[in-house]
Each structure stands twice: as C-alpha cells, then as structure tokens.
Copies of this chain bind each other. A is one copy, B any other.
Amino acid sequence: MIKKYFHPELMGYDGTQLASLWAYRTFQIMGDSIVAFRGPCKVGLRTMVDLEDVLKGDTIYSPEMLHFIVEHFDMDLEKTVLRQRLFMTIIKEDLEEVYSSSLIRSGDDLYLIDKKLSVSIATRTPVSTMIHVGLNVQTEGTPVPTASLSQLGEKNPEAFARRVMEQYVAESTDIYLARCKVRGVN
C-alpha cells in the first residue's frame, strides 16, 4: 500500500528533494509513498536530472507549484516511467471530469492548448525509483508560456492534491490486483 501525505506548509523545490528516502528523512514516512506540497520551483543545471534539459541549457522556474514526490522501492526505471504517465493521466482525467478542462497530454507533459501546465521527471536512486511532478499554481516569470491550475478552474490545490493522490494509490493497488486474478495461458 502506497502511503500518501499532503504537507500543509510552503516548501521550495530545487531538485535536491529527488533523493532516496526523502519522505522518510523529512516526514518519517516509510515505504512506497506519494507526498504533495506547495511552493516555488527553481531547478538549475547542477541539480537537473534530465540531461536533455541540461544539453539545451533549459532550467526550470515557477513562482509557485503544487509538487508531488513519489518513491517506489522497485528498481525498474522503465516501469516507473509507466507509473509516471499513469499519474499524469490521472491528473488530466480529474481536471477534465471536475472542470471540463480540455488538456493535451504529450508524454509526461500536460498542456492547455500550447501552454505548459506541468514539469515532470522520473529517475533512479541507489535503493528506489522516484518521480517528481510540478503543476503551476502561479505562472509569473516562467521561462516558457505556462498555464496554471486556477486557469483550469482548480482554486483549491490541496483538495485537488488529495484527490489525485487518493486516485494514484487506488489505481496502483488495482493494477497489482489485476495481475493477481488472471490465470496464465499457453
């Protein structure tokens, strides 16, 4: 069972949070987890894990994002990329269902027409795999055209965070059980 936690205080994200056992060291949450919090986002080239961004010289900035940090104690990074896409889908489906927003998912990115709502990355630590997702709450000063949750109708990031974390935990359990109710074939 994946543990979920919404941290009510503002906290900045600068890339150093994407490190093994961050949820345990910070919040004493042991095991697979998804944690959400709000705060500014500023990732420079030194802490960037996506080398595609490093090669382009792209950095990440947002005055305020809703952040999610996921840790799975499973070492298969491709599988965690699949989980990341599932989580982006859950975010998109929630916004569509609740606000009739029409988002475009392009891989692990979400767009409102041509404005970017999200940043996301998945990587591997010595003992786990991890995902970071950031959704803009405010958009002033972002280096590319961006959309925010409130432009999509979501004025309550905490409630939204709780819903999508709930759904991620439920669907992850459901996926495991889907694998436990079929017989093998020849």
- Docked Cα-Cα span, A92 to B104, in Å, equals 12
Q: Are B126 and A51 in contact, CB atoms less than 8 angstroms apart?
A: no
In chain A between 105 and 130, which residues have their CB closer than 8 angstroms to a CB of chain B?
Answer: 105, 107-108, 121-128, 130
Question: Which residues of chain B have C-beta atoms less than 8 A from A183's C-beta?
Answer: 20-21, 49, 51, 123, 126-127, 186
For residue A163, CB closer than 8 A to chain B, the reply is: no
- Secondary structure call for the A interface: mixed
Indicate the size class of the contact surface on chain A: 35 or more
In chain A between 7 and 34, which residues have their CB closer than 8 angstroms to a CB of chain B?
Answer: 18-21, 24-25, 28, 30-32
For the complex formed by this chain, how many copies does it contain in all? 6
For residue A140, CB closer than 8 A to chain B, the reply is: no
Q: Are B78 and A182 in contact, CB atoms less than 8 angstroms apart?
A: no
Return the contact of A127 from the options B102, B174, B184 (Cβ within 8 A).
Answer: B184
The residue in chain B whose Cβ has the minimal distance to the Cβ of A25 is B51
Task: Mark contacts of A39-74 with chain B using CB atoms, 8 A cut-off: 1 yes-contact digit, 0 otherwise.
Answer: 000000000011110010000000000000000010
Q: Which of the listed residues A25, A30, A126, A182 has the most CB atoms from chain B within 10 Å of its own CB?
A: A182
In chain A between 169 and 186, which residues have their CB closer than 8 angstroms to a CB of chain B?
Answer: 171, 174-186
Question: Which residues of chain B have C-beta atoms less than 8 A from A186's C-beta?
Answer: 19-20, 125-126, 183-184
- Docked Cα-Cα span, A52 to B174, in Å, equals 13
A-B contact pairs, 6 of them (CB 8 A): A18-B185, A31-B180, A49-B184, A73-B179, A85-B86, A122-B179
Spell out A's residues near B (CB within 8 Å): 1, 18-21, 24-25, 28, 30-32, 49-52, 55, 73, 75-79, 81-83, 85-86, 89, 93, 96-97, 102, 104-105, 107-108, 121-128, 130, 171, 174-186
